[in-house]
Chain A
Amino acid sequence: MEVNDLHVEYATPAGSVKALQGVSFRLMPGETLAIVGESGCGKSTLARALVGLLQPPGHVLSGSIRLNGEEFETTFSGLNPMRGRVATLVLQDPRDSLNPVLTIRAQLNMVLAHHGIRRNKRSDYSIRLLRRVHLADPKRVLSSYPFQLSGGMCQRVALAIALAGDPQVLIADEPTTALDVQVQAGILRLMHELQRERRFSLILISHDLGVVAGACEKVLVLYAGRLVEYGPTEDVLTHPKHPYTAALIGCLPIPGRGLPQALPGLAPNLIEPPDRCPFIPRCEFADDVCRTNTHPDVEQIDSRQVACYHPVQRAEVVPSGSTLDPSSIQPGRSLEFDEPVLEAIDLRKRYRVGGLIRGTTVDALRKVSLKVIHGETVGLVGETGCGKSTLARCLLVLDRPEEGTVSLDGINLTDVDGRTLRSLRRRAQPVFQDARACLNPGRRIVDIVQEPLRYFRIGTKSQRRNRARAQLRSVGISDELHMSRPRALSTGQCQKVAIARALVTNPDFLVCDEPLSSLDLSAQAQVIALLSDLQKENGFGMLFISHDLAVILTICDRVVVMLEGRVMESSAAADIGSQPAHPYTRALLQSIPGVVTDGQEMETTKSNGLDRPANGCPFAGACPLTIERCWTETPELHDLTPGHSIACHRSAELQPTSVVWNTGAAI
């Protein structure tokens, strides 16, 4: 595949938006290419243009896409017969791209019919395809609807559909963004395996350098619709030449490297952009040469192409191939107090699923205990559905736990009346995952932030506004945005506003429930830096919930690992990051790209619940150390060493594991 000087624009009433400006690259048969950049840099536009799925108002201005030397139709023109055989797209959200009202069988048949497979052979063919993407029990999957499958399973089905046409080029647009780190690792492995077996070329699009880099031979970095750097993965990532690439790498959370370096500012507006390097406002190397000249041409330097006037050899951002000292993982802050700001004891929570008659109950939390000390950051890690968010809601008594107590500074929140609870809320505040949804879309930013003060009748209206403005400035939202509404803000900015609102009442405790999941890498780094700065300043205790252990290990003092509503392991971050004890924790660590542990390979398979016994260890189905007892008896949490507790029957026999952080490969 060959792309030459591709220009794409969207004609909007506000002016034409130059989504892609002169992007060129060549893809050899069997090659893997990663396309990375922040959200809004033109990645998805490129993916759509490549398969001829650009829809009005988007259109290709100039440039060509050739496949095996043949010109490719770049306009959206109904059903293109080339599509499917040639290049196929696996969309971001698998559930979105599958038809919700058709069974998987019907959807596969449709595709197979398009590729001319005879009716009587389709069923066998479907089963073969599903097996190929490692779906256990393909017959059951065939007769399921998308909503009956997990996100990871849907993604595998989408992959099977893409494979049905035996494509020469497979384009995957953010295939793993909506998935847990653990599921994501599985999907990436699968794509790699398929790619090796079928020799198609793979284009992997993602905002996350860490995800794509390990899986691809070449990387193409896009910024504001332009190619900024393109070359072999290892060269680009260990010795980036363009300042933007270096900055992106700096955003990666890598345990032991300290906090990720946030990239300042925002991606530029692409409506009628000036013909200059778009990175100038955010670039520390920008000088008059950059400001007075037109956009730098893409030049060949050594092994790669760079578009920059100052393509200096930068220092290695992360030493490649080296093992990090595990002791550097712990931030190692000495805490002033050791009184817990928040303590939860034996929380239980059960949800009813389904109707009154045929429904069942799901145990979301089974005897979870947790404490957070003043000024401490505790990380809570686990897969989707393990009860993390339920725990967050119970800790703030937004949901009432059925059993157990939550106390804030010794005051039991679970048995105070509504009025007292409300007055205590100012001392414990949440930050949610979906930053945009938690802000009232009809209200101005400054009013959203001053709202909690209003609820507690603090100050006069103008005092409250001033306080809100100050708080907004402290999270880096500049004055001109204060009177705008949430829709004018980027998701990263929304999350900052949410943080400002949470902190405006000076709480002692903050629960951050997956605060990074809806953000791209540079916004993630900004939010991490912000939270850690604010914590240093205000000294609140924080519970940081995430499915990504790498993030947790970069910012937390202690880590709690949860599975199926139970705490599996709880220890200092340094212990978890360097010598995890529980088999499940090891499996979580292995799913971080670039982490190598000695001993057995383990995979966390989010299974269908059949091999998750009701009484017994929730990890029994996937654990290599499972013994008879694990299936019948639930392991209790007990201390391994002081401050390091674990719930495992075989804790006595566990061999110490050492973890190698091969960060050179990680990025």
Chain B
Amino acid sequence: MGNRHVAKSALGWRGGPRLRSFAPRSPLLTSGTVLLGLIAVAVSVGSLVFSVDAFEFRTTTALAPPSAEHWFGTDRFGRDMFARVLEGGRVSIGTASAAMVAILVIGVTLGSIAGYAGRWVDGVIMRVVDVLIALPSFIVALVAAGLFGASLKVVLIAIIGLWWVSYARITRGVVLQAKEQLHVVAARAAGASPMTILVREVLPQVVGPVVVVATIDVGHVILAIAGLSFLGVGAQPPTPEWGTMLSEGREYFLSAPHLMIFPGLAIFLTVLATNLLGEGLQERLDPHSLAGRG
């Protein structure tokens, strides 16, 4: 802190943010981006390039170990595991991303309304948040599946319905802070309407912290969906979802471990990638972690 003061006054050096361009590239950010990029490319393009059908039964080669023909082996119906892992990635990552978008839309909207409007609106929204945050999402999802039938859709709705609250909180905090910032007051004094202020002055500040948390959380959503599918309440066979695949492979764990190793590895790598990326982003967007580096 003190050091910065000196630097500023002595050099007329007005930066801080400018330091960013000098900061060494974050290894977290780079590795996270590369890993997630590879996974995304493999999952989205892979099944087009790789022409083996993920649903084709080949009883002759059931439970075959990894080979040149079937890189990840085959499952009990002789379906190609590599194709299924790729296809499962589409389901896992796709649904998790869609869920995240829904979570963000609901969370940021309600959070900014609460923060900006204040008074009773804030009170009502935040009490709802308080209640929902106390509910364990995993169990609520199980209960919902019990009530409305086990399907990916039900599980997703349960997860979205509970997970938006933390984003509402983050957003509200940033908005409350931003409301007092002088350039926001200045915009108000200059005649900007509440909507303009929210969209142009306040929300851009929400983006940073929300993106960081959301990136890490996508991994958690993937895990949750996989976990629920593993328990049999999420994606239903024959849909190749990583959690479902783990569940299917469980019976053959000793005789054909590849059935669990490859989907498990896929989940692990994806979650790792989102975590790396999220923390890398945090390092990059949060000025405090930069100041620490000096």
Contacts and interface: CB of A to CB of B under 8 A. Distances in A.
A455 B192 contact: yes
Interface in A31-47: 39-40, 42-45
Interface in A381-428: 396, 398, 422-423, 425-426
Contacts of A441: 17, 183
A270 interface: yes
A19 B185 contact: no
B183 A437 contact: yes
Contacts of A398: 185, 188-189
Interface stretch (B7-15, B54-62, B79-87): B7-15
Contacts of B201: 440
For B2, B187, B191, the residue with the greatest tally of chain A CB atoms inside 10 Å of its CB is B191
B193 A455 contact: yes
Interface in A473-497: 487-490
Contacts of A55: 2-3, 6
A430 B17 contact: no
Nearest to B14: A487
B7 A488 contact: no
B182 interface: yes
Contacts of A58: 6-7, 10
B9 A490 contact: no
B196 A490 contact: no
B257 interface: no
B119 interface: no
Interface string B195-233: 010000100100000000000000000000000000000
A391 to B, nearest CB: 14
A442 interface: yes
A12 B189 contact: no
A208 to B, nearest CB: 14
Given A40-B11, A40-B12, A456 B191 contact: yes
Q: In which size bucket is the chain B interface?
A: 20 to 34
B127 to A, nearest CB: 16
B5 A429 contact: no
B293 interface: no
Contact of A501 (B182, B190, B204): B190
Contacts of A487: 14-18
A544 interface: no
Nearest to B22: A13
A546 B192 CA distance: 27
Nearest to B3: A55
A96 interface: yes
Contacts of A54: 6
B182 A437 contact: yes
B192 to A, nearest CB: 5
A441 B183 CA distance: 9
Interface residues of A, number: 51
Contacts of B186: 430, 432, 438-439, 498, 501
B3 A422 contact: no
Contacts of B196: 455
Interface in B15-48: 15-18, 22
B190 A452 contact: yes
Interface string A49-62: 00000110110000
B2 to A, nearest CB: 8
A54 B3 CA distance: 8
Interface in B219-261: none
A253 to B, nearest CB: 22
Nearest to A40: B12
Contact of B181 (A13, A92, A396, A437): A437
A42 B8 CA distance: 10
For A57, A91, A271, A452, the residue with the greatest tally of chain B CB atoms inside 10 Å of its CB is A452
A46 to B, nearest CB: 9
A432 B182 contact: yes
B15 A396 contact: no
Contact of B14 (A13, A19, A92, A490): A490
A17 B12 CA distance: 10
Nearest to A491: B14
A422 B188 CA distance: 8
Interface string B57-99: 0000000000000000000000000000000000000000000
B6 A44 contact: yes
B49 interface: no
A269 interface: yes
A487 B186 CA distance: 17
A417 B129 CA distance: 32
A19 B189 contact: no
Contacts of B14: 487-490
A17 B201 CA distance: 35
A522 to B, nearest CB: 13
A451 B10 contact: no
A430 B182 CA distance: 11
Contacts of B189: 396, 398, 425, 429-430
B5 A92 contact: yes
A48 interface: yes
Interface in A259-277: 267, 269-271
B134 interface: no
B131 interface: no
A43 B188 contact: no
A490 B13 CA distance: 9
Contacts of A234: none
Given A92-B5, A455-B191, A501-B190, A45 B181 contact: no
For B1, B12, B16, the residue with the greatest tally of chain A CB atoms inside 10 Å of its CB is B12
A425 B191 contact: yes
A57 B186 CA distance: 37
Given A44-B10, A271-B11, 11 more contacts: A45-B9, A55-B2, A92-B5, A425-B190, A425-B191, A437-B182, A455-B190, A487-B16, A489-B14, A498-B186, A501-B190
Give the top 3 A-B pairs by smallest Cβ distance, nearest first: A40-B12, A425-B191, A45-B10
15 contacts: A17-B10, A19-B10, A45-B9, A55-B2, A55-B3, A58-B7, A425-B190, A438-B186, A440-B201, A451-B192, A455-B193, A487-B15, A488-B14, A490-B14, A498-B186
Interface of B: 1-3, 5-7, 9-18, 22, 181-183, 185-193, 196, 201, 204
